[in-house]
Structure formats: C-alpha cells, structure tokens
Amino acid sequence: MGSPPPASPAARGHDPLEEACYPTDRIGGPTLPLVARVACENAPDRPPEAPLESGSPDADSAGMDPCAVGSSRADLHLHTTFSDGTATPEETLNFLVSRTPFRVVAVTDHDTIDGALRARRYVEEHPEVFAGIEVIVGEEVSTREGHVIGLFLQEWIPPGLTAARTVEEIHRQGGVAIAAHPYTNLMRWNSLVGVGDLIRSLPFDAVEVRNANFTEFRANRKAERRAGDRARLGSSDGHFLESIGRCYTSFPGATALDLRRAIHERRTVAEGSCYGVRTLARFVARRLRSGQSVLPNRRHFWRESPDHVLAIEVQESRHLETVVVTPVGSLDERALGELKSTLTRFGESGVNLVVDLARVSELRPQGITALVAGQRAAERGGAGFCLAAPSRASLRALHGSLLDQHLPWTEDLAEARRRAATLVAAG
C-alpha cells in the first residue's frame, strides 16, 4: 500500500503558532518537493513533533538533503539541571536514545561544563544502552555582550569576560565558537541575550540561525540574513525534554569529528521549527503533575569534582558584576583542585567574588588554601572578595589558622555582596 496523503496541520494536531514559525522548509530558500516532505514526515526515527525541514540557502550547494543517506542530525544546544534546564544529564540521555534519531549532541549548560562531563561519563559507563551516541562537551558562556557557545572544550570558561576574550579562550582550547541566538530581544529580562552584530567582527566559527524557543522565529531570520560566510547551525536550546530536537543541525557523516569538519567547511544545514504553545503547555502540565517547579533559576549553575566529593553552586548577579560561590560538603584535599580552580578563574576574570560557607561541613587546611587562592586571584583581577555566613566548622578553622582577621568575612550574605563591591571601590 502507498503512503497516505499528508494530513492538514489541524488534522495532524500541529499548533498553528508552531506552523507559522517556518512556513517554508528553508529560511529564505525553496520548499522541498512534496514527495520529499511526505517521506521525511513519515520517517520512523523522527523526533517527537519535530518537522523535518532543511535549514539554510547553502543546502543545495552543499549537496545536503535532510533525508539523504549519509547525513546525520545533531542537537548542539542543550541544558540540564547543572544550569537552568529541568532534566538531569541522565534523563536527557535516556530521552535522546529512546525518542530521537540524534547520535551527536552537545550539552551546553550556562557557565559550566560539568553537566556535559557527567553526560559523557554516563554514556561511557553504559555502552550497551548508549552505543553510538557521542556527547560533545560544551558551555554557553555568559559574556559581557551576550551568550557565546563553546564546543569541544577541555576546560571551564568563567562568565563575565568580553565576548572577544571568550572566543579567544575557546579557540585556545581547540574548540568551536558559536554565536548563540545572536539577535534575540524578547526575553532579555530572562537573561536570554545574544551578541548581535558582533557576529560580523569576531571570529565565530558558526552562527545559530535556528533556535527552537517560541520567541525566536523573527530573530532567527535576522541571524540567517546576517550570518555571512559563517556556518549555519540549528539547535533546540532545550531546557525541557519536550523541546529537544525541535531545531537541529544536519551534516554529512555520522560522528562528532564529521560534524566539526562540516562546521569548518560550512557544510551544515540548520533545520527544524520553533515550538509553540501546545508544546509549552505539555511541559507545564507534566511538571505540575509531578509537583516540580516550572520556572528554573536562570542565573544559577553547578560545578562538581570528578569524584563527586564536592559540589559547587554558583549564583550570578543580573549584570555579572558579582558571583556567589557556595561549596557543599567537606573542603579537604580532595576538594582543593576543583574549588581552587573555580575561585581562581572567577577572581582573575574581574568578577566580584563572594564565597558562601554556610553549607561547608568541614574546612581543612587544603580548603583554606583554595580560599586564599581565590582572594589573591581577585586582587590580581581588580575584583572584590568576601566570605559569607561561615558554618561553625568553617569559623573554627578560620580562627584556628589565624586567618579570620586576614580573610574578610561577614555573617550576612547580602552584606558580603556589598563588602566585596566596597573593597573594589576602595582599591
């Protein structure tokens, strides 16, 4: 029997708003032939509700057909609970392997690579489940001008740097620098900020021209028009499971290495469509049924040591002038490396640094070494530094080491923020 004729959008249950985001199959390009569209829509491995569309005017010249054998799809902008996502790395991977065709994905939490590192470890620990899936270590860095994504990273990049310095740091690590949602303007109150026309002057390797957020369809078209000769990427910017795969990148090949080569050769195709009200409503209903929060903290992320003995919660101020670092657990020799690295990178970036010690169960000499390193880094970076709300164990350790008069501290977190800013002004 032949395939049934394609149903109307209403019969298929599509949201009119979602259909309106991309009425044609390509931004600024021709619509796919009807036969190709029907074949794509009936492909068994299609992600839930993600229309298969090709993505940029370069698709024809690159010889890319979204349904062609030999091409693959990647979602290169995903968030987890390590920043403002609502699914853990493990939940995200379970969804990807069970419900989508993607075998190359990038976890790009705000201002931390630790969610990506955990996801990569989880794939390596369970090869029988996640065979064929590659996790790219990425980060969506909050720069002074807007969000910049780094892929294939080796090290964490702190927020608060200029966009130019962030791109330079990504390239220093051998990574790929991407301008994320460069022209977004409807959700600046929610920290969704792009670098705008800096995509023309900074050496970005690629521009995200399809972002699946329902607010972004006009900004996406502007990014497509102004991307110039940069590679064009599509990504879900997924913060919840239902949004994963709504926009994506097609590329020739099947591996992360093939994807990287395609970006440098500008042979990627940005595809998909932004989600609409129905998708958002399903997410909200699912969260409410499970008694979970619908609105995550947008200026919050986590770091953790590789052996899981230390977790570090970081809260950013709205304009990135101050960060509050909250270590959780015992600050001993096992925690020294991760905490010292975190505090040093923040201090040297010029961001005022407050270390909240309220959740520290034990403060050993090695932990104090990390605090001293953070203070000295802040001095080098011209930033303020203050400890806040030390636990009883922390206060005893500071008294015993005779450093309670050397390291500035206060019982009140708000006062510590003010004191850190005052120390900068005084300096």
Q: What digits encode the pLDDT tens for the residues 93-146?
A: 999 999 999 999 999 999 999 999 999 999 999 999 999 899 999 999 999 999
Given this model, what pLDDT does residue 116 score? 97
CA 155/CA 144 separation, integer angstroms:
20
List where CATH 3.20.20.140 sits in the chain. 9-289
Given this model, what pLDDT does residue 215 score? 78
pLDDT in tens, 318-370: 666 888 999 998 999 888 888 999 999 999 988 899 999 999 999 999 999 99
- Are the CB atoms for 329 and 312 separated by under 8 Å? no
pLDDT in tens, the chain (427 residues): 444 333 433 333 443 333 333 333 333 333 333 222 222 333 333 344 333 333 333 333 334 444 455 799 999 999 998 988 889 999 999 999 999 999 999 999 999 999 999 999 999 999 999 998 999 999 999 999 999 999 999 999 999 899 999 999 999 999 999 999 999 876 554 556 899 999 999 999 999 999 988 778 899 999 999 999 999 999 998 888 888 998 999 999 999 999 999 999 999 999 998 776 676 667 667 656 666 665 555 556 677 766 666 788 888 766 668 889 999 989 998 888 889 999 999 999 888 999 999 999 999 999 999 999 999 999 999 999 999 999 999 999 999 999 988 899 999 999 999 999 886 545 5
At the top level of CATH, which class does the domain 305-426 belong to?
Answer: alpha beta
At the top level of CATH, which class does the domain 9-289 belong to?
Answer: alpha beta
Give Dmax over CA atoms of the chain in angstroms: 84
Given this model, what pLDDT does residue 277 score? 67
Q: What's phi and psi for 101, nearest 5 deg?
A: -90, 0
Q: Which amino acid is at 228?
A: G
- Strand order of the β-sheet with 71-78 is 231-235, 206-211, 176-179, 147-151, 134-142, 104-107, 71-78, 247-252, 269-272
- Are the CB atoms for 281 and 242 separated by under 8 Å? no
Of 302, 311, 383, whose CA–CA distance to 346 is shortest?
A: 383
Given this model, what pLDDT does residue 247 score? 93
Residue 289: helix, strand or coil by DSSP?
helix
List where CATH 3.30.750.24 sits in the chain. 305-426
Q: Which helix (H) or strand (E) holds 327?
A: strand 322-331
